[in-house]
Amino acid sequence: MESRFKEIKKRLKAELIRPFLSLKDVKDKEAILVFSEPRGGSTWLLELLSTIPQSATLFEPLHSNYGLFLNDERYEWGIYPNPEFKNDHMHKEWTDLLSGNLINGYVVSRSEVIDYINADKLIIKFIMGTPFLPWVSNNLDLKYKPIYLMRHPLAVAKSTLENLYKRGEKVLIDHKWVPEGANFDLYNKNKDIFDEKRPILHHLIGRWCVNNYFAIQESKNNEVIKVHYEDLLLHPNTVITNIFKIWEMEIPNALFEKVNIPSSSDFRKDFRTDKNDQLKKWFIGFSQTELMEMEEILKRFEIDVYSMFDILPTIPSNSLILKKKSV
């Protein structure tokens, strides 16, 4: 009964907000986009960016269970649209999304009603939408370059397992593992990684590689802002300053007041105050053999921005100049 009441409340909120967004004529070109994997730090970054004056957030519009395009095969997991593919219908869908003309109760759940009433731009974060990033950056005319937020695949996999899939002693998998379209060929060449006899961590690392393969290959520095979660965690002021400098936007004072507050997605409430410990915690307890097996998955996908033997990225973010030292 309580969950049904919450669902009705969300729907009413969306219906209340919809006419305001339509009447305000929110500019799709001024939307701020964040692309990341689940457990990749995107909720934390969204909460920081939500301090931008006269902004409101849209939360995970491509979510497989609660998003805007449920049961639409064009937006199934792992879909990778060719960046050169011109499609007027899809272009219209995305401009409607970026201007707030496509919403539901879930995507407007993270900002207050007053924020949407006052908003002149939307901040939108996508999980499981990284394969769309090359198409978005190539086909949409955006004032602010999208953020491509990457986090170490082992940290993403272990955090996903611990926070989303474990229920007591059981592990529940609720995502479709076989992607569609161009990503299917990528998956098919490496489908043994997803064999039920392989550890679930291998599945999750394989999914990270499939989702990020084309984005890493095709997203150039002049199209997106590449940010590593590790850089953002260890050097938040530097990273944030560089992002806003690229956007030519003034940094809101309230943002820096929130950088040390854990994300609302810290479900287990185990965020470490020592940031080095926070990064290390996902790498504890693995043998050399286990790390070698996971490293082999990265090599098969030609992923060289991370290594299983270093908790920091091996290649600096394109948009940032930060010295790399192993922690």
What's the confidence (pLDDT) of residue 323?
A: 37
CATH code for position 79: 3.40.50
Residue 15 belongs to a domain: yes
The structural domain count of the chain equals 1
Lowest mean pLDDT among 178-182, 208-212, 223-227: 178-182
Q: Which residues, at least 6 apart from 54, have a Cβ–Cβ distance to it below 8 Å?
A: 118, 119, 120, 121
Residue 171 belongs to a domain: yes
> What is the pTM for the complete model shown?
0.89
What's the confidence (pLDDT) of residue 265?
A: 61
Residue 256 belongs to a domain: yes
Backbone phi, psi, residue 267, to 5°: -65, -35
Please compute the mean of the pLDDT values over residues 37-55 and round it to a whole number. 94
For 145-176, the pLDDT digits (tens) are 999 999 999 999 998 888 766 655 555 555 55
Rounded-to-integer distance, Cα 302 and Cα 285, Å: 26
Q: Which of 43, 217, 205, 227 is nearest to 150 (CA)?
A: 227
Both structure tokens of 222: 């002049």
Residue 121 belongs to a domain: yes
Q: How far is the CA of 80 from the CAs of 90, 106, 184, in angstroms? A: 13, 24, 9
User: Which residues span the domain enclosing 173?
Assistant: 2-300
User: Integer distance in angstroms from the first to the last C-alpha of the chain?
Assistant: 48
For 186-219, the pLDDT digits (tens) are 889 999 998 888 998 999 999 999 999 999 988 7
Please compute the mean of the pLDDT values over residues 244-251 and round it to a whole number. 96
Residue 322 belongs to a domain: no
Residue 319 belongs to a domain: no
Write b or e for each residue in 8-33: b if 16 or more Cβ atoms lie within 10 A of its Cβ, otherwise e. eebeebbeebbebbeeeebebeebbb
Residue 317 belongs to a domain: no
Q: How many CA atoms lie within 13 A of 255 on its CB side?
A: 20
Question: Residue 127's pLDDT band (boundaries 50, 70, 90)?
Answer: confident
Residue 191 belongs to a domain: yes
